[in-house]
C-alpha cells in the first residue's frame, strides 16, 4: 500500500496503530545499528568521529518526533473541549459534589 507522505504523517500523528508499527520498525532499526557501530568505532575512529555526530543528531530528531507525535495522539484522543479549573468545578457541582 503506497501512501503519500502527508497521509503517513497524519497517521503517525493521530493513529495509535500506525504509531505502534512505526516505533516497532524503528526499534528494530536501532537494534541493528548497535552492533554495526562497534566495528566502526574500533576500526575506523576517524570516520566514526564524523558519522557519530550525524548519528547522534538523527537520534535526537527521532526522539523529539516520537515524543511530539505521541503527545499529539494523546491530545487528539482527548475531548475537544477546553479543560479549566472552572469547568471541573462546574461539572463537580452539577454532580452534587464540591471540590
Kindly tell me if the per-residue pLDDT of 27 is higher than 70.
yes
Q: Comparing 14 with 33, which gets the higher pLDDT?
A: 33
**pTM for this structure?**
0.54
- What band does 15 get if pLDDT is binned at 50, 70 and 90? confident
Q: Which helix (H) or strand (E) holds 60?
A: helix 45-77
Q: Which grid coordinates are listed for 73?
A: 495522539
Count CB neighbours of 96 within 10 A: 6
Confidence (pLDDT) at 18? 80
Amino acid at each position: 500500500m503506497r501512501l503519500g507522505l502527508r497521509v503517513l504523517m497524519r497517521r503517525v500523528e493521530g493513529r495509535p496503530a500506525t504509531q505502534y508499527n512505526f516505533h516497532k520498525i524503528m526499534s528494530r532499526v536501532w537494534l541493528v545499528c548497535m552492533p554495526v557501530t562497534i566495528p566502526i568505532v574500533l576500526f575506523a575512529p576517524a570516520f566514526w568521529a564524523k558519522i557519530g555526530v550525524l548519528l547522534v543528531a538523527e537520534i535526537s530528531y527521532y526522539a523529539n518526533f516520537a515524543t511530539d507525535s505521541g503527545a499529539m495522539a494523546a491530545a487528539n484522543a482527548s475531548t475537544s473541549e477546553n479543560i479549566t479549573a472552572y469547568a471541573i468545578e462546574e461539572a463537580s457541582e452539577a454532580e452534587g459534589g464540591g471540590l
